[in-house]
Structure 1
């Protein structure tokens, strides 16, 4: 009986974990550059190789490139191939993202919609850029639309040696691991994809698949809950007979 309760409990925890991942995918279907979470299940066995339940975890993040959507804004970009944009949080920590929805603020700084500044190697001070439109080349050079020989700065891309080492921070942002080499497009330009100006990379979360996963996982949760309830009722009956 206790083994059945344990199996039911592990089933509930596994289903809840997957529901959390599915909910995150659904919530970010329209988040530019978001990468969907994939949950795997593993059977638990005791010493006698008897089923003892299951466990789940985010097996991996699906880093497959999403579709590109056109945008009229100069600082909207997508990366065609390997690479992540770098942004800084309020404490100066580097975060990586595929969301290229940036804009130039009134003070001249370039940031995303959350106010996180984009990592740029500035060759000309921001205050000297003026209000002219800019062109962004495939290798990240930011040049004045009025004078294309005037390189104002260069957007730096990043790529970890192991994608699975990235720590998800939510909303398509990731924290690089300090234990895994992190390459940048200044010293290792050949391993990076091209920047496409006037495009945004859409989320790669599949809304249809996510809804199917949600329905099947909810049913699995209900079955596990029913198994626990039924076992508990049987144990109460047995305990009543013993008295």
Structure 2
């Protein structure tokens, strides 16, 4: 009966963690680019009371007899499904229709951002596409990190393979963003120019990214990042850029409230296991009076 008490304690701890994850999901239901979490459980080791026996000439086989010792936390996954798109009519709000992620960085961005010697550049990834123009005309995120893209050549009419910050020069009249991420503008003389092209990072295992807060993700040893940045619409899987809109959270409130009820009842059931085991121990104590 003491085993049942420890099993109940393990269940309570796990459901408490599940409720923590659900609470974080609900708190971020309106957070741009947020990816919800999901908790899974695993059973702990089992104590073998009797081992399995194989069949003989005179009788059949016998299955093992084991008593489980509770549950343990299996995983806390990041679910990278597409969030719904909200129209904002802000040309610097970008949404991605696909699996790619925006790349934002601080410091001097080298021509090849993933090359050796580029370790001093702080690189983050995000699905939140609310960008702004700073005082110098660079496209930045709310934390001031530069949006990384492919650079235009010296004549501003073609895109190179070099990486860098995307800048709209002083005195430009208007700009537009195409679905392939190309940012064009009209300069002060009325001539059309190209500022650059938004670059996207692609991961074979996006749930392997680590959340860093502020809608940012960090690369990890299990994310499977592609060695090169991708061009929207051109490279398969990267996706297309949709201007004037934002990708919102992929949290489904109906699902979260259902999971919350399940976690609450599971927590209550495990507390009942502990109180029932305690009552049985009390009966044993009271056998001798």
The normalised TM-score by structure 2 is: 0.73
**Alignment match, 1:28:** 28
Confirm or deny: 8 A CA contact 1:135 1:145 kept in the other structure: no
What CA distance in whole angstroms lies between the structure 2 residues aligned with 1:235 and 1:130? 82
1:53 paired residue number: 70
Structure 2 residues not aligned, in runs of 5+: 49-65, 108-119, 157-165
Query: Which residue in 1 is equivalent to 2:212?
Result: 169
1:206 pairs, out of 222, 229, 252, with 252
Report the CA distance between 1:194 and its aligned residue: 0.6
Deviation of the 1:242 alpha carbon:
6.5
Distance 2:167 2:180 in 1: 20
Shift of 1:22: 0.6
Does residue 1:144 correspond to 2:198, yes or no? no
Say which SS state the counterpart of residue 69 (structure 2) adopts: strand
The one of 87, 100, 122 equivalent to 2:129 is 100
**Counterpart Cα distance in 2 of 1:14 and 1:164:** 21
Deviations 1:33-69 (A, max 9, x none): 1121122222334142322212234453221212211
2:55 corresponds to:
none
- SS of the counterpart of 1:34? coil
Q: Which has the higher helix share?
A: 1
8 A contact 1:18–1:56 mirrored in 2? no
Alpha-carbon spacing, 1:130–1:57, altered in 2? closer, same or farther (3 Å):
farther
Name the SS for the 1:7 alignment partner.
helix
> What displacement does 1:77 show?
0.6
Where in structure 1 do 4 or more consecutive aligned residues deviate above 6 Å? none
Determine which structure has more spread, i.e. the larger CA radius of gyration: 2
- CA shift, 1:4, in A, is 0.7
* Aligned alpha-carbon RMSD (Å): 2.9
Please give the alpha-carbon distance, in whole angstroms, between the structure 2 residues aligned to 1:81 and 1:40.
26
Q: Structure 1: where are the runs of 5+ without partners?
A: none
- Verify the 8 A CA contact 1:160 1:176 in the aligned structure 2: no
Q: Which moved more, 1:152-161 or 1:105-114?
A: 105-114
Question: For the residues of structure 1 that align with 2:258 and 2:285, how far apart are their CA atoms?
Answer: 41
Counterpart of 1:216 (choices 258, 262, 285) is: 262
- Cα gap change, 1:130/1:232 in structure 2, threshold over 3 Å: closer, same or farther? farther
Counterparts of 1:14 and 1:69 in 2: how far apart (Å)? 35
Q: By how many angstroms is 1:99 displaced?
A: 0.9
Distance verdict in 2 for CA 1:57–1:111, change over 3 Å: farther
Question: Aligned pair count?
Answer: 243
Within-5 A mapping of 1:56-75: 56-58=73-75, 60-75=77-92
Deviates more, 1:77-86 or 1:52-61: 52-61
SS at the partner of 2:212?
A: strand
Cα separation, partners in 2 of 1:170 and 1:6, compared to 1, 3 Å: farther
Tell whether the 8 Å contact from 1:71 to 1:200 is kept in structure 2 after alignment.
yes
Alpha-carbon distance in 1 for matches of 2:205, 2:177: 28
Q: What is the CA distance between 1:161 and its match in structure 2?
A: 2.3
1:60-88, CA deviations, whole angstroms, 9 ceiling, x for partnerless residues?
Answer: 32212122111111110111112001123
Specify the SS of the correspondent of 2:211. strand
